[in-house]
Structure 1
Amino acid sequence: MIIRQITEKDLDIASAICMAAFNESVAGSLSEEGISTFEKIASPDAFLKRMQEDNVILVSEEQGEVKGIVELKEGRHVAMFFVDPRCQRRGVGKRLLSSALEHARADVISVSASLSSVPVYISCGFECKGGVAELSGLIYQPMELKMSTPPGAELSGD
């Protein structure tokens, strides 16, 4: 398995993976507004725009095929994290998230987790912070991960 930066050639498959995982585990619990909101966020054009911002977007690749994607916004917020439903429960997600967290630039990393993904984030060390919330039809649980080594600490020279 290779973890690497997303490229423009990955945009269609990355979007398709996000939609497949979303449709399988999240969409059934949301309104039409929530589904529409997510479709816009997960579109290839939206990914392309975010590639040009202060985001790290990584993909997992096996035998030349993208199997998962994770996005870390501004070094402090997990914005997208999806694994092809056919490849889940094989460690792809944990490797992706671990690789993304290597780019963290904050003491605390946040995520607005879909309710179905809360157990995955808990298994990765995240904790629920506050109650379930809703924005633009998307229902989520705010969660946080305290980084064990503050970003930049290894550079302090102490």
Structure 2
Amino acid sequence: MPIGLCFGLLLGAAMEKRNLKKQKEIRKITSDEISAALDLAWRVFSEYESPDYSEEGIEEFRKCLHDEEYLAGIEYYGAFDAEKLVGTIGIRPDRKHICFFFVDGKYHRQGIGTRLFRSVLQDYPEQTITVNSSPYGVPFYHALGFEDSDKEQTVNGIRFTPMKYEGLAEVEG
């Protein structure tokens, strides 16, 4: 085997091993980790989404993050970089409705959101999943295969577009 080809194979194997180390772990969040997920949601909301909301909307979102009754019925998934939570998605299993979906800005455009959504799809295959997307999230949800089910609305200062995923499209990423 020519030395260049051998070196190329070794380099390729080393790069693949390095990429596996960089791969983020996706799993269900334990009850001890929910607080970190909600903190992440607030940080990302504050940075990327709050500019699209009125003071009323920002306060309404903050209240949701502290409403124990509302939060109790949510199933959470997380993306972890080593031990650090860098992304989270929360879904209401009874309604198949995404309530929270946030990825730390430093980790945007790395496929983490797509992988989080795929984890939900594994647990809810071929089912319709809904979300009330913020204006910031609409293009991302469209890329996942969601379609608008109604026009943008504002309720209690929260701007959102109702969307649905029919469970038939293949999620890329």
- Range class of TM-score, shorter chain: 0.7 to 0.9
TM-score by length of 1: 0.83
Cα distance, 1:75 vs. partner? 5.2
Tell me how large the CA RMSD over aligned residues is: 2.0
Of Structure 1 and Structure 2, the greater strand share is in 1
Which has the higher mean CA deviation after the structures are superposed, 112-121 or 32-41?
A: 32-41
Cα distance, 1:8 vs. partner? 2.9
Alignment partners' CA distance in 2, 1:104 and 1:76: 8
List 4+ stretches of structure 1 deviating above 3 A. none
What SS does the aligned partner of 1:10 have? helix
Match for residue 85 of structure 2? 66
Counterpart amino acid of residue 118 in structure 1: V
Match for residue 78 of structure 1? 98
Of Structure 1 and Structure 2, the greater helix share is in 2
Which has the higher mean CA deviation after the structures are superposed, 61-70 or 11-20?
A: 11-20
Alignment partners' CA distance in 2, 1:102 and 1:75: 16
Percent of paired sites with the same residue: 28
Cα distance, 1:12 vs. partner? 2.9
Cα distance, 1:13 vs. partner? 2.0
Give the unaligned 5+ runs of structure 1. Answer: 150-158
Q: Which has the larger radius of gyration?
A: 2
Contact 1:57 1:69 in 2 (8 A): yes
What SS does the aligned partner of 1:15 have? helix
Question: Following superposition of structure 1 onto structure 2, how do residues 44-55 of structure 1 map, counting pairs within 5 Å?
Answer: 46=68, 50=71, 52-53=72-73, 55=74
TM-score by length of 2: 0.76
Contact 2:98 2:129 in 1 (8 A): yes
